[in-house]
């Protein structure tokens, strides 16, 4: 793994300042990406499934560019889309990434099949201090635009549920597609490239001191993503850079992340790890109906990942354990039809049996249905419909899919993603305080914000 921002040594905090990191000892090797796929490319790029060997040295016939119109920091979803768009306008684009291969999060996404967009994307599917900020970019690059690119590359896809589109085969196809598109417009994509320092010696140009040497550019696009999965190359680089150039940052925290339980709450459920069922999770006015999965540390599954983005320690979190049921009516019917059946047996018919059993041991006294008074039956219904889940925390960035918060959108143009403080500086993708729900929305934001910046950078 290349260097990360923990080694930063800041030497100036002004918008025209300089920003430093320790040098990365890794080197470069490139190979031509075409291999018969897609349009011909005139420049070498990396293939997604062929990691470059560390320490192999810079390929001799590839002198490091000293100048580019646009430098994009981060060869992830947003950075590559920005490079494709800017390159398509005839801009000379250089994409730099410190990792050993591009698009690592794309590769690991969607269980290896990349949930690359959501056909139902609306601004309401995003969390941000300014819920209007994402509207312009999302309107100008839609799921249909990305699907058109996917189809041009003959990548087979399917809808899983709720508008979520996945590759039939592999996420690698999406990375390969982006690299082919980037190559077709002449964008130069480099990995193993850490950034040691960034200066803005005069208005209008940036000077980057990198492992490739010193590079000057007119436009600098920051697409370094969020903090989740540090083992995949995530760093706080983009946040630090934003701060140094005078941008406000909103507090960051892990989103789309499993929740942890502790004490008696964990003791009661831990041995049920692996049990899954449908719930409706509710917190702070948000609700999501989907699967819950009990884990050895707490709870996960789509319903929990979704609601985790709305939850903070101390917040009340409730689960409807039988969503879609008219609980008082259903329990009343069970009492009438099965008076001798115990509550745990009745619940075991609609919930996983072991969970129903545990529920009745720890939260609901189980006895024959006929013995419940109307008031008690109402209390059972109330508990089943709004079961309190006492989470102690989240699994954190180690397993989170996204980072909430980040670069405050107040400092950015919503149509171009350009900094309001530093002309020519752009922030796109997850580093910005725009975070999507689970289900392909985060990639759609990456494509859309990358496209918006690429149109002007
Ligand atoms: C396990 C997992 C599964 C996911 N599945 C989905 C999904 O199916 N659908 C969906 O919509 N979203 C999914 N997401 C979220 C999605 O991957 C991100 O929101 C998206 O990748 C953000 O794009 P980005 O380009 O802003 O950042 P990233 O894709 O994270 O790219 C940032 C790039 O910047 C590089 N970088 C970081 N620091 C530096 C530095 N200091 N110097 C140089 N380069 C640097 C990184 O190496 C990386 O290549 C998933 C996330 C995870 C972790």
Nearest Cα residue to atom 4 of ligand 1 = 109
Residue 180, ligand 1, Cβ within 6 A:
no
For residue 238, what are its two tokens? 């983009």
Same domain, 66 and 207: yes
| Per-residue confidence (pLDDT) for residue 231, from 0 to 100 | 87
Task: Note whether 100 and 190 are same-domain residues.
Answer: yes
Q: What are phi and psi of 132, to 5 degrees?
A: -85, -20
> What average pLDDT score do residues 398-424 get?
97
Query: Does 115 share its domain with 191?
Result: yes
Expressed in angstroms and rounded, the spacing between residue 159 Cα and the centre of ligand 1 is: 22
Assess whether 234 and 302 both reside in one domain. no
Verify that 150 and 110 share a domain, yes or no: yes
The domain of 139 spans 5-253+401-454
Q: What CATH number should be reported for the domain holding residue 270?
A: 2.40.30.10
Please give the tally of structural domains in the chain: 2
pLDDT digits (tens, 9 = 90+) for 14-32: 333 333 332 222 222 222 2
Same domain, 39 and 65: yes
Q: Among residues 394, 415, 445, which one ends one of the domains?
A: 394
Find the DSSP H helices in 5-134.
Answer: 77-88, 104-108
pLDDT tens by residue, 275-334: 999 999 999 999 999 999 999 999 999 999 999 999 999 999 999 999 999 999 999 999
| Domain final residue, candidates 394, 424, 443 | 394
Indicate if 210 and 315 belong to the same structural domain: no
Among 373, 394, 415, the domain-final residue is 394
**pTM assigned to the model:** 0.89
Distance CA 344, CA 341 (A): 8
pLDDT > 80? residue 135: yes
Ligand 1 centroid to 147 CA: how many Å? 20
Judgement on whether residues 449 and 420 belong to the same structural domain of the protein: yes
Residue-averaged pLDDT of the chain: 87
DSSP 350-408: TS-HHHHHHHHHHTS---BGGG--HHHHHHHHHHHHSEEP---EE-GGGT-SEEEEEE-
Ligand 1 atom at shortest distance from the alpha carbon of 99? 47
Residues 424/204, Cβ–Cβ less than 8 Å: yes
Q: Which atom of ligand 1 is nearest to the CA of 77?
A: 25
348 lies in the same domain as 296: yes
- pLDDT: which is higher, 6 or 372: 372
Query: How do residues 66-98 score in pLDDT, each as one tens digit?
Result: 999 999 999 999 999 999 999 999 999 999 999
Same domain, 42 and 184: yes
pLDDT of 178 strictly over 90: yes
> For residue 211, what pLDDT band results from cuts at 50, 70 and 90?
confident
From residue 397, alpha-carbon distances to 355, 404, 427 in Å are 29, 11, 21
Q: Which ligand 1 atom is the nearest neighbour of the CA of 79?
A: 25
User: For residue 438, how far is its CA from the centre of ligand 1 (angstroms)?
Assistant: 14
pLDDT > 90: percent of the chain: 83
Helix (H, G, I), strand (E, B) or coil at 15: coil
């Amino acid at each position: 793994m290349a260097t990360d921002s923990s080694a930063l040594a800041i030497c100036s905090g002004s918008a025209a300042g300089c920003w430093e990191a320790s040098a990365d000892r890794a080197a470069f090797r490139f190979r031509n990406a075409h291999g018969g796929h897609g349009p011909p490319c005139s420049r070498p790029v990396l293939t997604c499934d062929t990691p470059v060997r560390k320490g192999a040295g810079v390929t001799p016939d590839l002198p490091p560019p000293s100048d580019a119109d646009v430098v994009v920091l981060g060869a992830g979803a947003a950075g590559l889309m920005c490079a494709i768009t800017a390159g398509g306008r005839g801009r000379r684009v250089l994409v730099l990434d410190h990792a050993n291969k591009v698009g690592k999060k794309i590769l690991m996404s969607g269980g290896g099949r990349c949930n690359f967009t959501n056909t139902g994307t609306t601004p309401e599917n995003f969390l941000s201090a300014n819920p209007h900020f994402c509207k312009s970019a999302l309107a100008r690059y839609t799921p249909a635009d990305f699907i058109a690119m996917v189809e041009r590359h003959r990548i087979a896809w399917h809808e899983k549920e709720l508008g979520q589109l996945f590759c039939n085969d592999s996420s690698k196809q999406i990375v390969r597609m982006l690299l082919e598109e980037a190559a077709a417009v002449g964008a130069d994509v480099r990995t193993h490239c850490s950034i040691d320092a960034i200066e803005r010696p005069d208005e209008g140009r940036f000077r980057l001191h990198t492992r490739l040497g010193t590079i000057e550019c007119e436009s600098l696009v920051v697409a370094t993503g969020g903090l989740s999965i540090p083992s995949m190359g995530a760093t706080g680089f983009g946040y630090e850079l934003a701060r140094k150039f005078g941008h406000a940052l909103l507090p960051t925290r892990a989103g789309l992340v499993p929740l942890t339980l502790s004490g008696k709450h964990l003791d009661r459920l831990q041995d049920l790890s692996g049990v899954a069922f449908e719930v409706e999770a509710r917190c702070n006015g948000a609700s999501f109906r989907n699967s819950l999965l009990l884990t050895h540390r707490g709870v996960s599954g789509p319903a929990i990942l979704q609601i985790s983005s709305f939850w903070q320690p101390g917040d009340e979190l409730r689960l409807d354990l039988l969503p879609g049921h008219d609980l008082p009516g259903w329990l009343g019917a069970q009492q009438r039809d099965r008076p001798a059946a115990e509550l745990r047996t009745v619940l075991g018919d609609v919930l996983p049996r072991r969970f129903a059993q545990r529920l009745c041991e720890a939260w609901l006294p189980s006895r024959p249905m006929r013995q419940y008074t109307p008031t008690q039956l109402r209390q059972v219904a109330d508990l089943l419909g709004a079961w309190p889940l006492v989470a102690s925390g989240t699994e954190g960035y180690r397993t989170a899919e996204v980072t909430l918060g980040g670069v405050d959108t107040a400092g950015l143009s919503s149509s171009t993603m350009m900094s309001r403080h530093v002309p020519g500086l752009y922030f796109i993708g997850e580093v910005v305080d725009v975070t999507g729900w689970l289900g392909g929305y985060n990639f759609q934001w990456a494509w859309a914000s990358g496209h918006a910046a690429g149109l002007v950078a």
